[in-house]
A and B are shown apart, each in its own frame.
Chain A
Amino acid sequence: MTRSVPPARAVALTHRLLMRQLVTRGRIGALLALGAIVLIVSAAVGASDEVDDRLEAGVQVMANVGFTLVVPVVALVFATAALGDTREDGTLVYLWLRPMDRAPVVIGAWLAAITVSLPIIVVPLTVAAALTRGGNTLVGATVLAAVVGVLAYSAVFLLLGLVLRNSIVWGIGYVILWEGVLASFFSFAAKLAIRGYTRSIITAQTEVDLDLGDLSLAAGVIVPLLVTGAALALSTARLGNLDVA
């Protein structure tokens, strides 16, 4: 008897399964601690009497701690694990050898990663933006940039988890070396740094200048979404061609 799983059902099944696999006490605890760092720094800046321009100070905190550390690292941990862990531990076969198309499995995995990452990133960053007393504009810019950042980073890191072993190490290399160092010196590297787009959203909304943040709001939103689509398409192709243990 021939059966197949409708795409929406395959997305839902993959999402539900991987959510369960991704949420572990260790991961959540460590990443909430990361969010606590940005909250502490923001609270300190907000409470300081020596700050002349609260909006600029708030933007600097969000850009240099929130969008440099919290957004990419949280997305990295969950997105590389979503399919990468199943690939490495051999459980991917239980999703792969099924009458399901590859794209719904990839989308389900991506949705699982962002379902876990979004609250861990957006809630502390929104509270942190408010704590800096930089105003509602900063809070709104932070929420928008965080959401766009999570979507794009998660798609890229999901792909990384399917392409490379030890993907978390490669991902940290990308965040630190590529986005942190190379993007500051080379314009082509900056164009391939998601951080540049999240910073551009903040700059466009708050009009506070940031390194790498010189693109329009439209570019800051649309390019990461295009990157997301491309990364998901590549992940789908990669999943179909994978050597499964």
Chain B
Amino acid sequence: MVEVQNVTKAFGDVIAVSDVSFTVGPGVTALLGPNGAGKSTLFRVLCGLTPPTDGAVRVLGEDARRHRDVRGRIGLVPQQDMLFDRLSALQFVELAAMTHGVSDAADAAVRMLGHVELDPDEPKMVGAYSKGMRQRVKLAAALVNDPDVLILDEPLTGLDPVQRNRMIDLFHNLGESGKCVLVSSHVLDEVARLGSKVLVIAQGRLAATGDYRALRNLMDDRPHRIKIGVDDARTFAAALIERGLVDGASVRGPSVVIDTGDIDTFGRAVAGVSKELDTRLREVVPLDDDLESVFRYLVERR
């Protein structure tokens, strides 16, 4: 349903997306990446909102930028927060329906607002809505034309946990009904619940694709860097190397910084080594456990 072939998008000297290729079919696919990784730019290219600098994109076999009718089969939740602030939620979603050529626009708008748990009779203008409510208005507008391809850029931002769960269920239902649902997120746990198909993008490049569990294992198996605070750092570092528990170690003041590819074995052994040497273990702190480090590793290993 969505084909991306060697797509590069540059803004002047800045390359936002670099030589990305993938194909996505029906079901929910999560696009995971840190902020600034190029997720929104990639979605904009998919929708035809901006042309690729190089490569080609096909949604339902067409270029949405040039082909009018295919635009009617796409639903987009853009990342930007602006709405027509002087419309009520019902007016906004009804407008989306009408501009999509939906015949029973008012009924469709009421139905979609119900799906996202907003009151269609609420007279307040969307400009006065909270972030989470605006997000749900955008979602209702994206669904109102019953699109075949749904592109949702960080759609869970601003929602409370209950709403998140309901929206994730809604995405799954849409995916199971044969729609192609592409959802971006920078939160790993969110992606875990979104779907088993994952595309990881970092620094504008596709860092990994495939099943979420395989990806999670890959992330867990990556080399780790850990700082250990001990009373006698030099002796402790030598003991770790001697026992083959680390790939490398360096003493930095009162601490040892180690690299290991087997975090589980190291974790089980470190307290025992401390006891054996009769030295006090003050702290064990992972230095690269943030998502950025995980993405960097995935990019570098390719």
**Chain A residues near B (Cβ < 8 Å):** 1-5, 9-10, 13, 17, 20-21, 89-91, 93-101, 243-245
Contact residues in B for A1 (Cβ distance below 8 Å): 73, 146
**9 nearest interchain CB pairs?**
A99-B72, A3-B101, A90-B80, A244-B49, A90-B82, A98-B99, A5-B101, A3-B72, A243-B50
B151 to chain A, nearest CB (A): 10
The CA of A244 and the CA of B100, in the complex, are separated in Å by 18
The size of the chain B interface, using a CB distance under 8 A, is 32
Residue of chain A at shortest CB distance from B72:
A99
B86 and A20 contact, CB distance less than 8 A: yes
Specify which of A5, A90, A101, A245 is in contact with B100 (CB 8 Å cutoff). A5
User: How many A-B pairs fall under 8 Å by CB?
Assistant: 82
Contact residues in B for A89 (Cβ distance below 8 Å): 82
The CA of A95 and the CA of B49, in the complex, are separated in Å by 11
Judged by a CB distance under 8 angstroms, whether B284 is at the interface is: no
A97 and B83 contact, CB distance less than 8 A: no
The CA of A91 and the CA of B84, in the complex, are separated in Å by 7
A93 and B72 contact, CB distance less than 8 A: no
Q: A9-B101, A20-B86, A94-B95 are in contact. List 4 more A-B contacts (CB 8 A).
A: A17-B95, A100-B68, A243-B51, A244-B44
The CA of A100 and the CA of B213, in the complex, are separated in Å by 42
A36 to chain B, nearest CB (A): 26
Judged by a CB distance under 8 angstroms, whether B76 is at the interface is: yes
The CA of A17 and the CA of B150, in the complex, are separated in Å by 24
B73 and A2 contact, CB distance less than 8 A: yes
Judged by a CB distance under 8 angstroms, whether B69 is at the interface is: yes
The CA of A89 and the CA of B84, in the complex, are separated in Å by 10
The CA of A97 and the CA of B63, in the complex, are separated in Å by 12
Known: A20-B87, A244-B44. A97 touches B74 (CB 8 A): yes
